[in-house]
Amino acid sequence: MTDVIDVFVPATTQTQVQPAGLKNGINENADGSITFLLAAPGKTDAAVIGDFTNWNLDTNFQMYKDGDYFWVTIPSTYFTTGQTFQYQYIVDYTIKVADPYSGLILDPDSDQYIKPGNFPNLPVYPTGLTTGDVSLYTYQATPYNWTVNNFQKPDKENLVIYELLVRDFSEADSFQEVINRIDYLETLGINTLQLMPINEFEGTDSWGYNPKFHGALDKAYGTPEKFKELVDLCHSKGIAVVIDVVYNHAFSQSPLCQMWWDENNFRPSANNPYLNSSPTHDFNVGYDFNHESQWTRDYVKQTLQYWIDEYRIDGFRFDLSKGFTQNFTLGNIGAWSAYDQSRVDILNDYKNTIWNANSNDIYMILEHLGDNSEETALANAGFMLWGKMTDEFNQNSMGYSSNHDVFRSYYLARGWNDQHLVAYAESHDEQRLMYKNLNFGNAANSSHNVRSLPVALDRQEAIAAILYSIPGPKMLWQFGELGYEIDIDQNGRTGRKPIPWTLNYDTDQDRMDLYDVTATMIGFKTQYPDTWNTTNNNLDVSGVTKRINLDGPVFDVVVVANYGVTAQNVNPNFSQTGTWYEYFSNATMNVTNPTAMINLQPGEYRVYSTQQLQNPLSNIEITDHTESDIKLFPNPAQNSFRLSQDIEHISIVNMNGQEVMEYKENLPTYSIENLNTGVYIINVKTEKGNRRIKLIKQ
């Protein structure tokens, strides 16, 4: 019996200037070769290993040293067009890491938990040949065939952002399920989809705020091609895509931690060029980035640009942006929130770099929640900022008369120059309004008990009426439009929550009414921006009754609501006498005294306008891009509808994606008497092809 032992004897690392124009990570060259570039300040040696080296160290793959960088060029003979190969770096012959700039990785510990079907044909991990995360790269990959190449982003001032966690949007945890429900989002009227972190995070079951690779797509939700399909589909619907990025910190599995790591104290070492050994502020999680370091700034800029180049991302929401500072404020929260010029400079550097390389319509949204003087400086520099108004709107929805002034939902209330305040009543971080309505709402009036589900849902309609009528960009957290009431701390704050599609929300008419009212108010905002975003307005929103006057160039609007639990009078302050139309009741009012009081029942809201408003939901065209010219009428319909062509099959699907009716024969009319009021998709099959048409049942 003979034992064979392979021994690698490294050659002396050579110093050689790197080729011009390299970026960190992999560079495909014109001659088909690949150059690997690794930033590793303070390190002595580095080499590349991978399936192309049979996972063995080889002097042919030792990297040259150029100052703080290591690089090596590998000939094209090692690669095949379309081949996805695997690789790692070995640093100082003791540290094995995946490429910090990976676009995709294999994780030997977590990949087994990816739900079946989410990532077909996942490359096999080289078990027994290496350990740790492995980088994946497709050589001379076939470019994705984008169908939308000149997407016009919605104006910043008129964004309606839908914040979505892919994991909790469906039980499948997939981009595909978001694609499957795109009609639900389109009919809701949102024009921006904001995804909670989709970059590679530790594990497969997470909110995503525990990042380890900031430029790698997390495979838990799907393939790069599937994510591109989602972005492309959104763009075809006029919906921008923003991703949540987490640059305050990294977690221990990040190569940026592992290459400079203090094992004894389980934290980044003192010489880590990217990360602080100890956090600088009280709200840090994971390991704190040093944003004054040029290494960190290069990392942030390149990974941000990668998302734009590779996935056509329209913007970024920066998590915990107030942490982008080296000012030490541990134990002094007030100091952390105070104006910090260094932090302003760092953030502007990131913004300016992205805008200079692309265009200034890339959305740069900050979760800053800091001192207004600093937020003002950032907003005036072009950033958009989260405007948390959860407590105030929840006080209104619960029916209480303290802390219910929502004027700070408007940018001028904060002294800003532009409508860059993304105001919201709910986000992923906040307790659900409906949960508090049902558990803590005002129950003083037995005939209008806020803790009753129908009453609480009706009051959410009133929240939508006011929130979306305050000019400027807005955000809603997923399923707020359905009155989602599950405790944020059920199964742990970041734990999985029940999916509304499994809770039969679609059979609850009060919930579907809330969806319709939310979609209607969003539709008014996005389809009538000259009026709904006008600066010629008057916001009287401090009391239990609220009034918004919007004086547009063509027509004027008055929105009033009563958040009390008893009837109240409100002064509408109509801008003119004459005929006004109330949208939701379809009533007409002849105004002779503009300040005559209007009596509103508890939770009641009204939307008046000087011209009759069209149903904004009826303006949404849902098609499958076939050449079929089939028409459905009337639409909206009450009891039945007709079609302009003979059909072979009709399937009627609600906005939860569930089939509720089916016809397999051609009929003069199709009865919908048994359907609840709401929005439906009609899937029509004819000899000429398939068509998907939106139907509004009244």
201-220, pLDDT tens digit by residue? Answer: 999 999 999 999 999 999 99
Cis peptide before 636 (omega within 30 of 0): yes
The beta strands (E) that lie in 472-567 are given as 474-477, 537-540, 545-551, 556-562
Q: Is the peptide bond preceding residue 634 cis, with omega within 30 degrees of 0? A: yes
Strands 568-570 and 587-591, sheet pairing: unpaired
Distance CA 208, CA 218 (A): 9
**Three-state DSSP class for residue 167:** helix
**pLDDT for 270:** 97
SS3 call for 498: coil
Q: Where are the beta strands (DSSP E) in 487-586?
A: 537-540, 545-551, 556-562, 568-570, 578-582
Burial of 121 (0-12, 13-18, 19+ CB in 10 A): exposed
* Best CA proximity match to 195, nearest among 100, 317, 297: 317
pLDDT of residue 10: 82
Gyration radius (Cα) of the chain, Å: 28
| Per-residue pLDDT at 440 | 98
Whether 455 and 449 have beta carbons less than 8 Å apart is answered as yes
Buried b (16+ CB within 10 A) or exposed e, 262-274: eeeeebbbeebbb
Dist CA 530 CA 130 (whole Å): 60
> What is the band of 680 on the pLDDT scale with cuts at 50, 70, 90?
confident
Other C-beta atoms within 10 Å of 93: how many? Answer: 13
pLDDT tens-digit readout, 40-61: 999 999 999 999 999 999 999 9
Q: If you average pLDDT over every residue of the chain, what do you get? A: 94
The amino acid sitting at 491 is: N
Digit-coded pLDDT (tens) for 278-289: 999 999 999 999
* 497 and 508 Cβ atoms separated by less than 8 Å: no
Q: 230-234, 255-259, 359-363, 676-680: lowest mean pLDDT where? A: 676-680
Q: Which amino acid is at 57?
A: L
- With H, G, I as helix, E, B as strand and everything else as coil, classify residue 166: helix
Closest to 365 in 3D by CA, of 317, 323, 411: 317
- The pLDDT assigned to 169 comes to 96
- Mean pLDDT for 432-456 is 98
Q: Residue type for 186, please?
A: E
- Cα–Cα distances in angstroms (integers) from residue 141 to residues 138, 144, 145, 229, in the given order: 6, 9, 12, 16
Whole-Å CA distances, 441 to 451, 452, 455, 480, 541: 5, 9, 10, 17, 20
Residues 6+ apart with CB under 8 A from 274: 250, 256, 260, 268, 289, 290, 293, 295, 296, 299
At 123, the amino acid letter reads P
pLDDT grade for 258, boundaries at 50, 70 and 90 = very high
Q: CA 427 to CA 389: how far, in whole Å?
A: 10
SS3 19: coil
Query: How far apart, in whole angstroms, are the C-alpha atoms of residue 652 and residue 404?
Result: 42
Residue 359: the pLDDT is 85
Residue 550's pLDDT is: 98
Q: What pLDDT band is residue 178 in, cutting at 50, 70 and 90?
A: very high
Q: Which residues contact 24 (CB under 8 A, 6 or more apart)?
A: 37, 38, 39, 100, 101, 298, 299, 302
- What CA–CA distance (Å, rounded) separates 296 from 282? 21
pLDDT, one tens digit per residue, over 110-141 is: 999 999 999 999 999 999 999 999 999 999 99
Query: What phi-psi label fits residue 181: left (phi over 0), alpha (psi between -120 and 50 degrees) or beta?
Result: alpha
**What is the reported pLDDT for 620?**
62
Kindly compute the dihedral angle of the four CA atoms of residues 388, 391, 392, 396, in this order, to the nearest 10 degrees.
130
Coil, helix or strand for 217?
Answer: strand
pLDDT at residue 609 above 70?
Answer: yes
Helical (H) or strand (E) element with 509: helix 509-527
| pLDDT band at residue 2 using 50, 70 and 90 as cut-offs | low
Amino acid sitting at position 481: E
Bridge partners, 195 (sequence order): 164, 243
Per residue in 303-333, pLDDT (tens digit) is: 999 999 999 999 999 999 999 999 999 999 8
Tell me what pLDDT residue 346 has: 98
| Residue 101 falls in which region: left (phi positive, over 0), alpha (psi -120 to 50) or beta | alpha
Q: How buried is residue 361: exposed, middle or buried, by Cβ count under 10 Å (0-12/13-18/19+)?
A: middle
Angle formed at CA 115 by CA 111 and CA 116, multiple of 5 degrees: 105
Q: Is a pLDDT exceeding 60 seen at residue 625?
A: no
Q: What is the biggest distance separating any 2 CA atoms in the chain, rounded to whole angstroms?
A: 107
Q: How far apart are the first and last CA of the chain?
A: 84
Task: Answer whether 151's CB lies under 8 Å from 111's CB.
Answer: no
What pLDDT does 665 receive? Answer: 83
SS3 of the chain: helix, strand, coil, percent, to 5: 25, 25, 50
**pLDDT tens digit string along 465-475?**
999 999 999 99
CA distance 650 to 692: 10
Mean pLDDT, residues 588-609:
98
Q: Which has the minimum average pLDDT: 4-18, 234-248, 305-319, 555-569?
A: 4-18
Residue 586, φ and ψ in degrees, nearest 5: 60, 35
Evaluate if pTM is beyond 0.85.
Answer: yes
Copy the structure tokens of residue 660.
Answer: 């509720």
Per-residue confidence (pLDDT) for residue 4, from 0 to 100: 55
Q: What is the mean pLDDT of residues 596-620?
A: 92
Task: State the pLDDT at residue 255.
Answer: 98
Spatial separation of the C-alpha atoms in residues 80 and 72, rounded to whole Å: 19
The H-or-E segment that residue 525 falls in is helix 509-527
- Between the alpha carbon of residue 369 and those of residues 21, 47, 339, 393, the distances in Å are 39, 44, 12, 17
Taking only the tens place, the pLDDT of each residue in 652-679 is 888 666 788 888 888 878 888 888 887 8
Q: Which residue did the predictor score with more confidence, 9 or 92?
A: 92
Q: How far apart are CA 140 and CA 83, in angstroms?
A: 8
CA–CA distances in Å: residue 603 to residues 352, 464, 566: 45, 12, 9
pLDDT at 624 over 50: no
| Separation of alpha carbons 329 and 546, rounded Å | 40
In this structure, what token pair is assigned to residue 441?
Answer: 């709402």
User: Looking at the predicted structure, is the pLDDT value of residue 621 above 60?
Assistant: no
The number of CA neighbours under 13 Å toward the Cβ of 16 is 13
CB 11 within 8 A of CB 62: yes
